[in-house]
């Protein structure tokens, strides 16, 4: 194999690899804009929120907690008052007058 043929083949694989790497970096285009974002209040837990909102998300408590953990990139599933998190409930599925869902008041 000549040097020019080798260089051409190597360039091809570098180009294909770059395209694949760039495509993988774009992600699925998933956005959280359609989901409700709530502020955590004193006494709230993800488990309580999952129970309070069970009619709106259709998940088990474990699935709800795992979704919130993953989508919000939480370092721990322990949430604190003042934290804001996206929840797996579509904005339109919450009542229009609700700005917060507070598990501790249920």
**Is pLDDT above 60 for 40?**
yes
Confidence of residue 65 (pLDDT cuts 50, 70, 90): very high
Report the percent of the chain where pLDDT is more than 70.
68
Q: Which CATH number fits domain 35-105: 1.10.275.10, 3.40.430.10, 3.10.350.10, 3.30.450.20?
A: 3.10.350.10
| CB-CB contact of 98 with 38 (8 Å) | no
Quote the Cα angle for 51-75-41, to 5°: 45
Q: pTM to 2 decimals?
A: 0.62
Q: Is 71 helix (H, G, I), strand (E, B) or coil?
A: helix
**Is pLDDT above 90 for 26?**
no
**Is pLDDT above 70 for 61?**
yes
């Amino acid at each position: 194999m000549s040097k020019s043929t080798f260089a051409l083949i190597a360039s091809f694989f570098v180009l294909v690899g770059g395209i694949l790497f760039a495509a993988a970096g774009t992600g699925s285009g998933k956005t959280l804009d359609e989901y409700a974002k709530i502020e955590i209040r004193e006494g709230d837990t993800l488990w309580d929120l999952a129970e309070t909102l069970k009619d709106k998300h259709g998940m088990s408590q474990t699935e709800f907690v795992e979704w919130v953990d993953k989508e919000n990139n939480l370092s721990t599933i322990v949430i604190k008052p003042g934290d804001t998190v996206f929840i797996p409930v579509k904005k339109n599925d919450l009542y229009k007058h609700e700005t917060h869902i507070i598990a501790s008041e249920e």
